[in-house]
Amino acid sequence: MRLQVIGDPVLHSKSPVLHGAMLSALGLDAAYDARVVRRGELPDYLRWARNHGVAGFNATMPHKEDLLPLLDGIDPAARLTGAVNTVCLREGAWVGFNTDGAGALSALGEVLGFDPAGSTVTLLGAGGAAKAVALALAQAGAERVRVCNRTLKRAGELCARHPRLTPAPFDPDTLERLCRGADLLVNCTSLGMEGCPRQFEGFSFLDALPPHGAVFDLIYHPAETELLAQARRRGLRAMNGLPMLVWQAVLALEHFLNRPLDRGAMAAAASAALEHKPLF
């Protein structure tokens, strides 16, 4: 079996390490490698993949949205999000899935014991990752998800996809107001990411979270962002983006193999492999 991850850039991707570890834990004779595919090259890649025995692939920037019109079938969660990160060849048809949202929910449940049902969430950002996480939380029963974004119009477009999503601006006063009573704060912006020139202007909004509130930063490089450090300093539970990265891969592998796996064992194999490789 041959599997790949495609994107541009893609050579920094952790997917070959994660999937390689899970495939060897399963004792499967399968290869998983990274392939640079530039914007506009997807139709050529799909032809090439079919002719070279590729059974499935993960997609990263800039293909997650561009793939949709090129596939033969799309899973409902991926259609709602408007993006796919996992594509499988099933009886000659390319079928797309999105495991980012479900991966985030699994990580929240496994690491923070967080159950979205009936919860109030404040989510920062309205880009690709925010879309997948906000919609997954709303579909899993979150009572309200307030989506704060610098470009308010983009937050409005995301929130139009589900009635329990509400758009809000991204400014200190709004963040503080919306953190009051929130069970979970999720950072889906690139603020604090290695290489991102900008940082949060301040962190006083964290003081407004209730003591049981948790903070989930999707960023995993660095492993401890300033947001997470400030949350822990205030006694709040906090989680970085690595568990989500691991769980989206576990769920993608279930799609590739088209069968349920021992998810805990797969996540453990993938996490152990990451610990033995420098992240960047």
Nearer CB in complex with ligand NAP: 75/217: 217
Q: Which of residues 221-280 bind ligand NAP (CB under 6 A)?
A: 241, 244-245, 248
Distances (CA, A) of 202 to 22, 24, 127, 217: 40, 44, 22, 16
The verdict on 128 binding ligand NAP (CB under 6 A) reads yes
Cβ 81 to ligand NAP shortest distance, Å: 11
Distance CA 108, CA 100 (A): 12
The verdict on 175 binding ligand NAP (CB under 6 A) reads no
Residue type, 252: A
Interhelix angle 152-159/128-139, rounded to 10 degrees, is: 40
Q: In what order do the strands lie in the sheet with 144-149?
A: 165-169, 144-149, 120-124, 184-187, 214-217, 237-239
The verdict on 189 binding ligand NAP (CB under 6 A) reads yes
Cβ 47 to ligand NAP shortest distance, Å: 27
Please pick, from the candidates 120, 149, 225, 230, the single residue that binds ligand NAP as defined by CB under 6 A: 149
Whether residue 64 lies in the annotated active site:
yes
Could you give the 3-state DSSP secondary structure of residue 272?
helix
Cβ 175 to ligand NAP shortest distance, Å: 11
* Among 64, 131, 153, 277, the one annotated catalytic: 64
Q: In what order do the strands lie in the sheet with 93-97?
A: 31-36, 2-7, 54-59, 86-90, 93-97, 73-74
Residues with a catalytic annotation lie at 64
* Interface positions with ligand NAP (CB under 6 A): 100, 125-130, 149-151, 154, 170, 188-191, 193, 198, 218-220, 241, 244-245, 248
